[in-house]
Structure 1
Amino acid sequence: MPAGTFISGNQQYSVRLKGEFSSVQEIENLDIPTMSGPKKLGSLANVIDGQEKVTQKATYFNVKNQVADNNIVRLSITKSSDGNVVNIAEQVRNELPALQSELPPNTQLNVIRDDSEFTRSTVDDTLNTIWLGILLTGLILLLFLHDLRSTLIVALSMPISIISTFIFLQAAGFTLNMLTLTGFSTAVGILVTNSVVVIENIFRHKEMGNGRKEAAYKGTAEITIAVLASTLTNIVVFLPIASMKSMVGGFLKEFALTVTFATIFSLISSFTITPMLASIIIPDKAKTNKFGLRFDRFFDKFSNLYICFMRFVLHNKGTSIGILVISILMLFASFLLVPGLGFELMPAMDQGNVSVNIELPEGVSLDETAKVVEVVNERASKHKEVEHVVSNIGSQGFINTASNVASTDIKLVDADERSLTTLDMVGVIIQDLADIPNAIIKVSDQSNMGMGGSGISFYIQGQDQEVLEQLKYDIIDKIRDVPGLLNVDSSSRPGSTELTLYPKREKLAEIGATVYDLAVGLRTGIEGMVNTYYREGGNQYDIKLTMPDEDVNHPDKIMNMSVVVNGQSYLLSQLVDVDFAAGVYQLIHVDRYKSIEITGNAAKGYSTGQLNAEITKRLDNLELPSGYRIKWGQDAEMLNETMADMIRTFAIAVLLTYMLLAAILESFTQPLIILATIPLGIIGVILSLFFSGVGLNIFSMLAIIMLVGIVVNNAILILDYVNVKRKEGMCSHDALLEAGKMKLKPIIMSTLSIVIGMMPMAMGVGSAGREFRMSMGIVSIGGLLVSTLLTLIVIPAFYYLSTQNLKKKEICNEQNR
């Protein structure tokens, strides 16, 4: 220990007190002052160079190589908030060989879990989805345009928009992560819709006899308002998403802004690059081929059938009303399917991580717990889907530590190497471990995308622990048989029996002692106290003073312990009263209430939202005493908060879309007709969710909000063209038929471009993170297909009825045929 410095002459000297022990023998020969004079420490106590008592240990078993190690040290590396998990993992792996060379023989460093692999796989799979979406979209364009140069003009809008978006992503401080890449994969089909509409209109004007440049100019100018309105509706629905205030809103901000940036550049490209290239490279004369002629004949037949059907729809007021009634009935009928949909915060991810928590009766030794863990590991490792098993004996995390608890992490092989999902394996392992006696075993999947701990969590709150204990049993009895609810458990346990000592304060006052003096003496005798340290070979070791175990293994021996106070020795029984009482296992306080947490997990095929609703229904009939309540846990509160935030964002998106359309179209009624496409899209959303079995989560809800800006585009194209023809003097009936005929092809082209572009997402291409991509893809495709089909029929009928009321005397040539 440094003591300072002094100066002698021209020299400065430092002073250091060096009193560290240099050997164990020096400690043993230490003189200790006693009442009968100094004595060697070795004559008063046993000085043992031993090991600390083992309270926790970890084991590892590599199933593939059949390598087991019953004594390992687990090291975890956690990135900081601004760290990049992929870069950190790569640097750590680069350092491992150097670290391995410094370790003793027969010691190995093995990576048993690397979360960056999931991140890297998710990015790779999402990139593959983007490229596959671009390829499929290009094929759809080639199918309709059957001209490679025209297809190239439109397809160029995708890479141009995506590459240009990188500028804004860098300026915003975003990285290429799961959310930004998902934004790109979602926008693949959307990016070409503007160029599709522009190039199709340019071709139409060229077929009317105009030259390339004139056709490019007129074709672009004619649909400028429609394309601008369609693009801005896409943008305005993403701005509320980017401004959501919930935690999930912050999570989705990068996604929303990525799609917004890409959509803006697609608009710029459609008004600049597309007409410019069209004026240069499209052929002067239309080149025909056998496939193109056959496809055009087929599409012309389909177009004629559509026009014939629309003549029937618009024949009179009654048929138009009938179409509207049928669509409304379809909407209400689809709502009947909503109770069958699952509600969850995040979709279950197949990451191949299974967690097993084991709890034995209170007081079971670490060795007995290890035997049960060995049985669990043996049964789990017999499955070919298991790669390795790592167990922590004596702990279930940082808080729950005891000799009777353990946790096992089971790592499955890659998803493409097994036929069972993580949730399937959870069910299999639950059955395998069901007959292990005297053990509470909870099996669940682990997911990096999860926002909390257990899937189901709520608290019983009050101020009296005994009342809470009674309520706990009543509540667990009510919910234990909820279908799909697994691993029902509570945070409350009967504590082990305690020898409780109560200080005799009058006696302590007489001898000049405090309760603290008593507590230190008691702690030193039973558990032991670390008083100083001993260094050897560069390592530091505790010097612990304690009583031998055989001297404190019975209440009578403890009461006969000697406690030294102010140099005087007293028996512990002279200073305390003793009693036996039940100990406390764990105390939880939430919002200043004493609380007991009830937890559970959802089985495969069930969502947390469904289980939360069923539990709430059962607990509504429970009469709680005054001052007691039930509070839902973090995941449930976040789910409710997210649902409310999404509904609010959806309403804002609809309102902004209406305001935008009203400003562009200079009408208050036509935007209402256009917005009628939204409930038509909801029909497709509900049907797609119901038949696919995908639950309603933040990604599917995000897709629903996104549809607000997409499904209105087809109606905008139709009504914009109708308005042009009405200004030319055409009646509403004829204008609607003409618009249907002219805009059917671009509507189907743009719709199929988006649908095919999202098809890899909906099909779950890739193994990492495909669940959330599937949610978005299925909802988007279902809503868009049904909305497009009904928009082509319902919107003309709606518009026809509204104009009929305004202009009853209007005479149409087409209608009178």
Structure 2
Amino acid sequence: MIKESRGVSAWCIDHPVATILLTFALVLLGSIAFPRLPLAPLPEAEFPTIQVSAQLPGASPQTMASSVATPLEVQFSAIPGMTQMTSSSALGTTTLTLQFTLSKSIDTAAQEVQAAINTASGKLPKDMPTLPTWRKVNPADSPVLILSVSSSQMPGTELSDYAETLLARQLSQIDGVGQINITGQQRPAIRVQASADKLAAIGLTLADIRQAIQQTSLNLAKGALYGKSSISTLSTNDQLFQPEEYDQLIVSYKNGAPVQLKDVARVIRGSEDAYVQAWSGDEPGVNLVISRQPGANIVETVDRIQAALPGLEAMLPASVQVKVLIDRTQTIRASLHEVEMTLLIAILLVVAVMALFLRQLSATLIVSSVLGVSLVASFALMYVMGFSLNNLTLVAIVIAVGFVVDDAIVVVENIHRHLEAGDGMREAAIKGAGEIGFTVVSISFSLIAAFIPLLFMGGVVGRLFKEFALTATSTILISVVVSLTLAPTLAALFMRAPVHHEHSKPGFGERLLAVYERNLRRALAHQRTMFGLFCVTLCLAIAGYVFIPKGFFPIQDTGFVLGTTEAAADVSFTDMVAKHKALAEIVAADPAVQAFSHSVGVSGSNQTIANGRFWIALKPQDQRDVSASAFIDRIRPQLMKIPGIVLYLRAGQDINLSSGPSRAQYQYVVKSNDGDTLNTWTQRLTEKLRTNPAFRDLSNDLQTGGSVTHINIDRGAAARFGLTASDVDEALYDAFGQRQINEYQTETNQYNVILELDAAQRGKAESLNYFYLRSPLTGEMVPLSALARFDVPTSGPLSIAHDGMFPAANLSFNLAPGVALGDAVLQLNQAKNEIGMPASVNGYFQGAAQAFQSSLASQPWLILAALVAVYIILGVLYESFVHPLTIISTLPSAGLGALIMLWLLGQDFSIMALIGLVLLIGIVKKNGILMIDFALEAQRGGLSPEEAIYKACITRFRPIIMTTLAALLGALPLMLGHGTGAELRQPLGIAVVGGLLVSQALTLFTTPVIYLWLERLFHRPTPAPAPAITL
């Protein structure tokens, strides 16, 4: 056996006070770090993303796409490190989303984006109110908090002003707060509504009104009077604030008499955009949809907002009510609490197993002490590495419960065996720790080797699991140290030899060992059968991996549902409001709904009147009878009864990899260099997929049914009057573009003055016949009908999307229950082939589906890398090419067990299941290490391979069973959990439990056969003793 060495274990046994105090220091550091760890749903794993916004009020989607989006895209395309560039152009607005590689600094990207905007500014339309602006965003991120602002007494414009100037501005200054989208905002404005008839009657145009207002309502510097004894600042009444002041403004003189603005127009105090509305439930108001900054901690950000709200509410009028409508941190905290309870249950189960097998209080307490110290100390390392307490790091700790006790069990059990042999407490502790030290190092380092490939995974998935892998690795390393220092020290002080009574019944472990011994003899007597069983297991494991349905991340129930509405492209605002209210009544009636908000109109990510937004908070899971996905399935048929509108719902996810808001969980992008070709084949693909029951909520974002009234300018006729196409465009913009012609400032904000035709005239195509321009040659009024022909309204796009400067369309879809993402990917590609999509039209999956394709391609390599890493570590430790193969032979049965359990429980092979499989690679080979390590030592002592492996199996049976049960019971709460966030944890627990059950049943018999087979195959001589490892 390995010789006793005066190493770390012996030193700790000789210095118990120092050992205990150093251990206490570890616990103290972990206890201090734990409350300082930030809370989060998942580790930070966001692509650096910048969103650029540009406005040109009144400009058509085609104009915005060609005149605004394209010049910007040309400049942005030269920025290094950009992985994706998309744009969406609608009436008067363009939004571009730029996504960069994970290694790109968001600050560097922001500087380059600003430089590109400056370069492109010379090619943008001259009449843009402002240059494009940018912000750092995570456009796919769900809002972290939605506030409802309402008042039964205050007008909507005044309420919106308070929401913007007081609430939004103050909240945006809070650390961690990102974009605040004010839905339903009716921003105050002065609206000048001119009468085309009155203007034409006295020979004036809208341009005369615009110029008069711009020249007579100003806010310029005036200077000051510098006297000998004082300085007096000059001030004038040059700025107009009230509609009554605008009424008195003189536009022109006709026949010596002044023409005031009130003679040709009605001036009112209204809102900047009258076509927006939002509700909290059924109560009209304004909603503040708050997102976090990229990288900001959700829980800390929301806590800061909640702390600031009382002070802000005190500054509002008494009639204004502010309430929290949706708070995502409630489900985040509930999910983390569930994991903490899972951790506690796992610890209790593992300790119970120790007590069952060791049957000695002192031994059980020693193992429990090692477990507690290792777990608590790991929090200190998490704090140093900048990690958070999230679902993945806590799952890593739960899984590590089984790993941590492995080391302590092996050490304590070996000491226990020496005590049973008659050694004294100190002698047994020194011998037991010295003999087993190499085995403990082998088990732990080969386990850590399985995590190494996770650290090199690319993309967002790699970012997510980096904290998982490092947390588990840190905990294992701490457990190695504690198991070889604290455990033998406590054993030397408190662990006594077991007392065997003459008539005492054999314990559970002894009875189990007797059963195993009988069956082991049978297995060794039928080695060919056992080897054949191993080969069958290997083949079934490979076949199972190939054929099992594969997915990405499980769909979570975060208690938050997002919705996007779509109506006919030419729907009126009034009809859209009525349809939204009908949908809201159905949502409000569902018993699972706790609160909800919805909005219509152009606001934030919503670019057209034909679309709206819903945000739905579900009740806590223990207060509702359906999951978020089941809620969507239940309410979908009722929502479809509302004619003329569709509400697309998707469950909010902690992992959202889309580059922007989406109608469903998964997206597919279709691109072409020709817009008409794109529209044709996108619609064909959409219709084809709608016949496939695997796809739900299928839609595309092509909104080509908008009404377009085309005006054909007769340039020759216009020239005869001295007019140009530019003059016509300017006149139309004044009349129908809600043109912002001026602004006025107060102490708290800046507001716009908007010029337009009166409401009765600007909504009718017939008004074009009574629309006049002034000829600069003759001064006479020329009707527009003399210069242009008005075509019958045709259909046109409400929005135009680009992807990488090419016309693009996005298909969104959810999956039917039981359908794996991998199957859906195959069926979508098959549908493309069946409809004969030409090569000029191509597409790719985006977001989660794209990440799934990438991870699917890398899965075999990840598994192979884990196997190779384990083989290398074992080969180095054992100085052998052969014995690592014996140890790795335990893995096929584990893989088969994991796949069978996933299949039986209806789970697809997701990323979480893959991580469970990688964990099994580290866990299961422990059985082989415990056997092979003892067998090799026994062979060096003169035993034959058959005798050595038999004795190894019998001697190490108890620690094998104990460590396997510990790992299994550590994963069992993850498998059986049904609380908040359980969807994410269950596949990992299922894979680990299934793998351990099958591998434990088979490897106890196949591993000794594989060992003997390799011994005979390679005819290796008895190896020289390995150098003693000082521990």
Shared fold, TM over 0.5:
yes
The counterpart of 2:1015, out of the listed 774, 798, 803, is 803
* Separation (CA, whole Å) in 2 of partners of 1:288 and 1:668: 44
* C-alpha displacement of 1:372: 2.4
Given candidates 760, 777, 787, the residue that maps to 2:999 is 787
With the length of structure 1 as denominator, give the TM-score of the two structures: 0.91
Residue aligning to 2:695: 485
Superposed, which structure 2 residues align to 1:500-539 within 5 Å? Answer: 500-505=710-715, 515-534=725-744
Whole-angstrom CA distance in 1 between matches of 2:1020 and 2:746: 103
8 Å CA contact retained: 1:517, 1:565: no
* Deviation string, structure 1 residues 584-637 (Cα, Å, up to 9, x no partner): 232222233322222211122223222222222333344232422232222221
Distance 1:204 1:286 in 2: 10
Measure the CA separation in 1 of the matches of 2:606 and 2:761: 29
Residues 41, 592 of structure 1: alpha-carbon distance in 2 compared, 3 angstrom cutoff? closer
Q: Secondary structure at the match of 1:78?
A: strand
Q: Rate the CA distance shift 1:342–1:414 in 2: closer, same or farther, 3 A.
A: farther
CA deviations on 1:37-62 (whole Å, 9 max, x unpaired) are 5432222322334455531212223x
In structure 2, the CA distance between the partners of 1:757 and 1:556, relative to structure 1 (3 Å rule), is closer
Bigger drift between 423-432 and 333-342 goes to: 333-342
1:413 paired to 2:626: no
Code of the aligned partner of 2:695: L
Q: Does 1:171 align with 2:384?
A: yes
Q: How does 1:150-229 map to 2 (within 5 A)?
A: 150-229=363-442
| C-alpha separation in 2, matches of 1:6 and 1:287 | 105
Letter in 2 for 1:758: A
The alignment-based identity, stated in percent, is 24
- Structure 1 607/510 Cα, relative in aligned 2: closer, same or farther at 3 Å? same
- Residue 160 of structure 1 and its aligned partner are, at CA, apart by 1.1
Matched, 1:299 2:512: no
CA offsets per residue over residues 299-333 of structure 1, 9 Å max, x none? 33332332222222222xxx323212223223433
Q: Residues of 1 paired with 2:480 and 2:249: CA distance?
A: 86
Aligned to 2:879: 666
* Cα-to-partner distance string for 1:680-738 (whole Å, 9 max, x where unaligned): 21111101111122222222111211222111111011000000000011001111110
Paired positions, count: 795
Q: Distance in 2 between matches of 1:808 and 1:168?
A: 44
Provide the residue aligned with 1:438 in structure 2.
644
List runs of 5+ in structure 1 lacking aligned partners.
62-67, 811-817
Written as runs of structure 1 = structure 2, the 5 A alignment for 1:72-91 is: 72-91=285-304
Report the CA distance shift for 1:566/1:244 in structure 2 as closer, same or farther (over 3 A).
farther
Per-residue deviation, 1:564? 4.2
Contact kept? 1:521, 1:564, Cα under 8 Å:
no
Q: 1:510 to 1:275 in 2, by over 3 A?
A: farther
**Structure 1 residue 96 corresponds to structure 2 residue 309:** yes
Distance 1:356 1:173 in 2: 35
Are 1:360 and 2:567 matched, yes or no? Answer: yes
Aligned mate of 2:686, from 472, 476, 479: 476
The residue identity in structure 2 corresponding to 1:392 is: S
CA distance in 2, matches of 1:682, 1:803: 25
Native 8 Å contact 1:429 1:443 kept in 2: no
- In structure 1, the partner of 2:771 is 561
1:263-307 deviation digits (Å, cap 9, x = unpaired): 000000111011111111001x313589x95452x4333323322
User: How far did residue 740 of structure 1 move?
Assistant: 0.8
| 8 Å CA contact retained: 1:354, 1:446 | yes
Q: Deviations over 1:87-140 (max 9, x none)?
A: 222222223333333333443211111111122222222222212211111111
Residue 796 of structure 2 aligns with an amino acid whose one-letter code is: G
Residue by residue over 1:426-472, the C-alpha shift from the partner in whole angstroms, topping out at 9 and shown as x without a partner, is 11101222333333332332223333343332123222222223323
Shift in alpha-carbon separation, 1:341–1:354, aligned structure 2, 3 A:
farther
Note if contact 2:371-2:401 (Cα within 8 Å) is conserved in structure 1. yes
1:106-145 counterparts in 2 under 5 A?
106-145=319-358
**Taking structure 1 as reference, are residues 544 and 381 closer, same or farther at Cα in structure 2, changes over 3 Å only?**
closer
Partners in 1 of 2:266 and 2:235 — Cα distance?
31
Matches within 5 A, 1:17-28: 18-21=237-240, 23-28=242-247
Structure 1, residues 379-424: CA drift from partner, whole Å, max 9, x if none? 33333222223221336x7344433333333322110112221111
Distance in 2 (CA, whole Å) between partners of 1:638 and 1:773 is: 19
The alpha-carbon deviation at position 197 of structure 1 amounts to 0.5
1:769 equivalent to 2:989? Answer no
Native 8 Å contact 2:743 2:753 kept in 1: yes
Alignment partner of 2:476 out of 258, 263, 270: 263
TM-score normalised over the length of structure 2: 0.73
SS of equivalent residue, structure 2 residue 612: strand
Letter in 1 for 2:954: K
Whole-Å separation in 2 of the counterparts to 1:366 and 1:22: 29
Q: Which amino acid aligns with 1:369?
A: M
Deviates more, 1:183-192 or 1:636-645: 636-645
Equivalence for 2:130:
none
**What is the aligned partner in structure 2 of residue 64 from structure 1?**
none
CA displacement at 1:643 relative to structure 2: 2.5
- Tell me whether 95-104 or 412-421 shows the greater mean CA deviation: 95-104
CA contact (8 A) 2:408 2:487 kept: yes
Mapping of residues 240-389 of structure 1, within 5 Å: 240-283=453-496, 285-287=497-499, 293-294=504-505, 296=507, 298-315=508-525, 319-338=526-545, 341-389=548-596
In structure 2, the residue matched to 1:571 is: 783
Partner-residue secondary structure (3-state), 1:249: helix
Partner of 2:263: 43
Map 1:493-642 to 2 at 5 A: 493-505=703-715, 515-534=725-744, 541-564=751-774, 568=779, 569-580=781-792, 581-642=794-855
**For each residue in 1:528-551, what CA deviation from the matched residue of structure 2 results, as whole angstroms up to 9, or x when unmatched?**
322223467966543222212333
In 2: Cα distance, 1:475 partner to 1:266 partner: 56
Match of 2:123 in 1: none
What letter corresponds to residue 741 of structure 1 in structure 2?
Answer: I
Bigger CA drift: 10-19 or 719-728?
A: 10-19
The AA in structure 1 aligned to 2:981 is G
* Amino acid aligned to 1:798: I
**Alpha-carbon offset, residue 752 of structure 1:** 0.5
Long gaps (5+) in structure 2: 1-219, 1023-1031
Task: Write the distance in 1 (CA, Å) between the matches of 2:775 and 2:236.
Answer: 30
After superposition, the Cα gap between the structure-2 partners of 1:257 and 1:199, relative to the gap in structure 1 and judged at 3 Å, is same
Following the alignment from structure 1 to structure 2, what is the Cα–Cα distance between the partners of residues 662 and 516?
A: 80
Q: State the distance in 1 between where 2:239 and 2:275 align.
A: 29
Matches of 1:538 and 1:205 in 2, distance apart? 81
Question: Distance between the aligned counterparts of 1:302 and 1:448, measured in 2?
Answer: 45
- Give, in angstroms, the shift of residue 226 of structure 1: 1.4
Match status 1:57 vs 2:267: no
Show the counterpart of 2:901: 688
Letter in 1 for 2:461: V
Distance, in Å, in 2 between the alignment partners of 1:763 and 1:329 is 30
The answer to whether the 8 Å contact 1:337/1:690 transfers is: no
CA contact (8 A) 2:844 2:850 kept: no
Q: Is the 8 A contact 1:458 1:633 kept in 2?
A: yes
Which amino acid is the alignment partner of residue 796 of structure 1? P
User: How many angstroms apart in 2 are the aligned matches of 1:46 and 1:54?
Assistant: 16
With over 3 angstroms needed to count, the CA separation of the structure-2 counterparts of 1:18 and 1:280, relative to structure 1, is same
Report the secondary structure of 2:844's partner residue: strand
Partner of 2:676: 466
- Tell me by how many angstroms 1:10 deviates: 7.3
